Amino acid sequence: MRTKSEERRQHILAIAAEVFLQVGFEKASMAEIAQRVGGSKATLYSYFPSKEELFVAVMDRSAEQLMGTVFDQLLRPGSPEECCGDG
């Protein structure tokens, strides 16, 4: 079971991903992310020391989710052509 701290971290990552997608890295601000999360910048910085580290964590989370999907497809019975087409 996830702790409240981990749940909060995951919530921050989800909101940050939305902000980065909407406005890009350069225009995204920790203040905007904190506002959307419903917390303070201090809380945000306690989880992620910088916007760069938050962005890296968002990208790591996205890559893990994508790779999970890919591996799920690869582990299904049948040939790759049956599951995903032949190219």
Instruction: Report CA-CA distances (Å) from 32 to 1, 26, 71, 72.
Output: 29, 12, 35, 35
Counted residue by residue, the chain has a size of 87
pLDDT bracket for residue 1 (50, 70, 90): very low
How many angstroms separate the CA atoms of 39 and 8, rounded?
10
The mean pLDDT of the chain is 87
Q: Are 71 and 45 in contact (CB under 8 A)?
A: no
Using the predicted structure, report yes or no on whether residue 76 has a pLDDT greater than 90.
no
Query: 21-36: per-residue pLDDT in tens?
Result: 999 999 999 999 999 9
* Domain ranges, ordered by start, for the chain: 4-78
Q: Taking residues 61-72, what's their average pLDDT?
A: 82
pTM (predicted TM-score):
0.75
The CATH number assigned to the domain with range 4-78 reads: 1.10.10.60
The angle at the Cα of 70, spanning 14 to 60, to the nearest 5 degrees, equals 35
